[in-house]
Amino acid sequence: MPPQRSPYDVVVVGLGLAGLVAGLVAARRGARTLVVGRGQGGLRQRHGALDVLGYHRGLVASPERELAGFVSERPEHPYALTGAALGEALELVREAGADQGLDLVGDLGRNHLVATAAGTLRPSCLVPRTMEVSWPGARVLVAGLAGYRDLWPELCATQLPVSAAGFDLHVEARAVSLEEPSPSPRHLDGLALARCFDRADFRERVAVGLRPHLDDALLVALPAALGVDDSGAVPDLEARLERKVIELPSLPPSVPGLRLEQALMGALRRAGGRTLVGPAARVVVERGGVRRIELASSGHPTPLSVGRVVLATGGLRGGGLWLERDGRVRETTAGLPAVPPQGEPGHSFLELARWLAPVGVRVDQRMRPLDEHGRVAVEGLHCCGGLLAGADRAGEKSADGVACATALVAGREATA
């Protein structure tokens, strides 16, 4: 089947944070834009806050102050190419969230410490208002609800002061488990619980159950599932309890991640872009340039002519990269050359993760993929996000910053 004439100037492959940001940038620059993915992107697996740089020779208090020294030591890191775009990229995401009632706070000047359902604290740069806490001297009531088993309040309350002490903070915490209201006799995931919290009557029943246990607590910590559609769920709970209410991220599906995904998709649609969830995409390359995209469909793939393509397909976890048995790394959508792991993998899981962390596709300052000789491998193609080589995203806590900054540049260059 010959390729159909494309109604799009730019096609972005990947529906995660990088893909949605790249698509939003391209659409706002006037390009007819399609963002396509075989399934929902990774935002629903993440915590809804944006990590920029959490660790470099220890905890990073201010990503802004640390970045220059960080990239001077790591010239192959994506921040060495796109660090200047980081502030603008974060502001783009913040603005998209605000338009949908999602209040993201913070900037490059300092990291926030976000509490998790396990009672740990992790550094993050741009966080939902419902996770922003002033921790010194905090007294926390950790509340669990019957039917939701992804938060053990006793475990969280026991671990939280220990985690805080590791940051030289004094925090007190105690736990309560509410048998009523019980949303369901079966196990609830975060999304099902969030739909319960969208209802004012359910919030009132939770508040009634919590009031006798408040005592001197300054904060009430609940699962990060306080509403999907109702942006007023947390303020309403705070008014009923007369306490600040915070959310504790737990296991996927992530409601805060879903909120961020919905905000970015809404911004993309308002800019004139479209999304397509379902078909796997393959980029056909001929004579050193993008020839067409083939979208998987029943019977045979659907070919689509296109001018520019942005790959935001993720790394090994997202399926954008594949590790062969012999240690070679294969890029799965366009057959791009990829940087393989170096040295020996070691024996522990941590050593294996660090061994695999820097693999990916090398790019130039325009996010164009490079071959092993440093030449542009494919014209008309740009790459961003977890697909790129050179970053230990988990160890650095840099995944979201890399995604946003490289996507901003890729979206611009795809429309240049």
Residue range of the domain that includes 154 = 117-248
Mean pLDDT of the chain: 93
CATH code of the domain covering residue 82: 3.50.50.60
With pLDDT > 90 as the criterion, what percentage of the chain qualifies?
A: 78
- Report if residue 21 sits inside a domain: yes
Does 222 lie in the same domain as 126? yes
**250-304 residue pLDDT tens:** 888 899 999 999 999 999 999 999 999 988 899 999 988 998 999 988 778 888 8
Report the relative pairing of strands 10-13 and 33-37 from DSSP bridges.
parallel
**301-326 residue pLDDT tens:** 888 888 899 999 999 988 999 988 88
Domain end marker among 223, 248, 273:
248
Does 401 lie in the same domain as 262? yes
- Report if residue 106 sits inside a domain: no
- Report if residue 107 sits inside a domain: no
Does 72 lie in the same domain as 27? yes
**Burial, 107: exposed, middle or buried (Cβ in 10 Å; 0-12, 13-18, 19+)?**
middle
**195-222 residue pLDDT tens:** 999 999 999 999 999 999 999 999 999 9
- Report if residue 111 sits inside a domain: no
Does 303 lie in the same domain as 273? yes
pTM of the model: 0.94
Domain end marker among 248, 269, 304:
248
pLDDT at 109: 96
- Report if residue 389 sits inside a domain: yes
Nearest to 309 by CA among 359, 257, 377: 377
Does 194 lie in the same domain as 164? yes
Crossing angle of the two packed helices 255-270 and 17-28, in degrees rounded to 10: 20
Q: What does residue 69 show for φ and ψ, rounded to 5 degrees?
A: -65, -35
pLDDT at 252: 87
Residue 3, pLDDT > 70, answer no
Does 405 lie in the same domain as 282? yes
pLDDT at 2: 58
Mean pLDDT calculated for residue range 327-344: 89
Does 91 lie in the same domain as 136? no
pLDDT at 1: 53
Does 285 lie in the same domain as 219? no
- Report if residue 90 sits inside a domain: yes
Q: How confident is the model at residue 39 (pLDDT cuts 50, 70, 90)?
A: confident
With pLDDT > 70 as the criterion, what percentage of the chain qualifies?
A: 97
Residue 230, pLDDT > 70, answer no
Q: How confident is the model at residue 390 (pLDDT cuts 50, 70, 90)?
A: very high
Q: Measure the CA–CA gap between 11 and 414, rounded to whole angstroms.
A: 9
Q: Which residue has the tokens 């209802």?
A: 199
**100-130 residue pLDDT tens:** 889 999 999 999 999 999 999 999 999 999 9
Mean pLDDT calculated for residue range 180-201: 83
**251 or 61: which carries more pLDDT confidence?**
61
Overall number of domains in the chain? 2
Mean pLDDT calculated for residue range 51-80: 96
Domain end marker among 198, 213, 248:
248
CATH code of the domain covering residue 244: 3.40.50
- Report if residue 108 sits inside a domain: no
Does 148 lie in the same domain as 72? no
Does 284 lie in the same domain as 222? no
Does 162 lie in the same domain as 278? no
Q: Measure the CA–CA gap between 216 and 152, rounded to whole angstroms.
A: 21
Q: Which of 89-93, 97-101, 182-186, 357-361 has the lowest mean pLDDT?
A: 182-186
Does 399 lie in the same domain as 264? yes
Task: Tell me if 164 sits within 8 A of 229, measured CB to CB.
Answer: no
- Report if residue 1 sits inside a domain: no
